[in-house]
Chain A
C-alpha cells in the first residue's frame, strides 16, 4: 500500500482572506516577526497499489479533477 499526501495551496496573487485573519490573530497573540500566512489543505490518501508510477499518475488526475481548483490553487504530491 502507498500512503500519499497531497497539499493544496492558493496560487500567488490570489487573495487569501482566511490566511490574513490568521496572520492578524498570530500578531495579537504576541508572536512577533510573523510574515505572510497562507492557508491550504492537506489530504492523506491511501492507495492499494504498490506501483509508485501509477500512483503518481492517478494522484495527479485526482488533483486536476477534484482535489484542487486549478483556477485558484496549486497542488503538490508526496509519496511515502
Chain B
C-alpha cells in the first residue's frame, strides 16, 4: 500500500483573480496502515485528502496511488480509494440504508433480491439491522456515518480516506466510529480534530498553511502539536 505526493502544489483562483495557495510543495510517502492528518481549519487537510482520489488535482507535482498517477487515471484510482465525508447526509444518495448500500453493489450484483440480501448482510455486520428500511433522515448522526462507511466498504476499496469523519458526532458515536475504524484491514488516511482518534494511528502528519510542518509517530508528534496549538 502506498500513496506518494511528489512536490504537490495546489493553487485556487480567488474571485478577484489573485491566487491562493492551498498546498505548497508537499512531498510525502504514505505506507503505514493508519495515518492521521491534523491541523487547524483551512490548513490544507481536506485538499491533501481530496488529491488522493482526484476530487482535486495538483497545480504542480503529482500524486501516485499504488504507483498509478491519479491525474492520468482518476476513475481507476477511485475504485480502489473509498472516501468518507464529514457530513454523511451529503454522502448518502438513496433514502434508506439498504438502498444506499445496494447502490454501491449495483456493479457487482445484478439481481435485485440478491443485492438487497447482500446489502442487509453488510449493514448487519455493522450492527445496523434495526435501520435497514428506515429513512436516512431519521437516523442518528452516528448511524448515518456507519451507513456511509458500509456503502464505501461494499465496493472493497484498498484504501479508505476519511475527512473529519467524527466532527459532527457526539462522544458515544465518536467512540463507536473509532472502534470500527480500528477493526478495518484497509489502509486509512484520516484527517481529524479528534486527537484521541489521531492517537490510534501509527503516523501523524501536521499540516499548517498548506505545508507539512511535523511528521512522525503519534506518541511523539501529538504532544508537540498540542503545544503548538496552545
Q: Do A and B come from one complex?
A: no
